[in-house]
Amino acid sequence: MSAAEGGGADRPAQGAGDASASGAAGPADRAADELWMARALEKARLAAGREEVPVGAVLVGPDGLVAEAHNRTREAADPTAHAEMTVLREGALRLGDWRLLGHTLYVTLEPCAMCAGAIVLARVPRLVFGTRDPKAGMCGSLENLVRDERLNHRVEVVEGVLADEAAELLRGFFRERR
């Protein structure tokens, strides 16, 4: 079993600091994806504790974590305060660049139309999500905005990472509220 930290071992050796120029989309192996998704799930659990729909997201770049957030539409009284929107905003601010080239966005639930649109606008090269959202998901369920050939940017999508945990968290949240 390969350690997550050995993720760079199979890549050709390049000068340090060259990562952003290579266009690499961040960690590309399953073990690393699961580690980052576990972190997004932690954020989702925090949301549940605050009576927010439990969705969490993290933005990861070549040098690691850039931003993390959970959904806070209720607390912020803001319909756009989805976890993905917050990490995209914070990530872009932190990097001083609206283009999030070389970054991977991890989110526990399939992004909605708004978030899928923002992911395309931010030129995020890679999206990893947990469970599908059959009622609002726009990355494969209802439509696939992030793969639409007519748009000027397409996103590599990996789905199903820790999907059971993400789905169970959502089910539990809505079960308690019925």
Contacting Zn ion within 113-172 (CB under 5 A) = 114-115
Whole-number Å distance between alpha carbons of 162 and 131: 8
CB of 25 to Zn ion, least distance (A): 21
Q: In angstroms, what is the minimal distance from the CB of 108 to Zn ion?
A: 12
Q: Where are the alpha helices (DSSP H) in the chain?
A: 30-49, 73-76, 83-95, 113-121, 163-176
75 belongs to the catalytic site: no
| Ramachandran sector of residue 104 (left: φ over 0; alpha: ψ -120 to 50; beta: rest) | beta
CB of 66 or CB of 83, closer to Zn ion = 83
Q: Per rule CB under 5 A, is residue 112 in the interface with Zn ion?
A: yes
| Residues in 20-79 that interact with Zn ion by CB under 5 A | none
Please name the residue that has the structure tokens 């639930």: 109
Q: How far is the CB of 116 from Zn ion (least distance, A)?
A: 8
Number of residues this chain uses to bind Zn ion (CB under 5 A): 4
Nearest residue (CB) to Zn ion, 60 versus 118: 118
Q: Which of 70, 72, 82, 103 binds Zn ion (CB under 5 A)?
A: 82
Verify binding: residue 88, Zn ion, rule CB under 5 A: no
User: Candidates 7-15, 95-103, 110-118, 168-176 — which segment interacts with Zn ion by CB under 5 A?
Assistant: 110-118
CB-nearer residue toward Zn ion: 32 or 92: 92
Q: Looking up tokens 């932690």, which residue turns up?
A: 42
Nearer to Zn ion, 63 or 75 (CB): 75
Residue 99 exposed, middle or buried by CB count within 10 Å (0-12, 13-18, 19+):
middle
Of 52, 68, 84, 110, which one is the catalytic site residue? 84
> 143 by DSSP, 3-state: which?
coil
CA geometry: angle at 4 spanning 13 and 24, to 5°? Answer: 45
Q: How far apart are CA 157 and CA 25, in angstroms?
A: 11
Binding residues for Zn ion, rule: CB under 5 A, are 82, 112, 114-115
Q: Which residues are catalytic?
A: 84
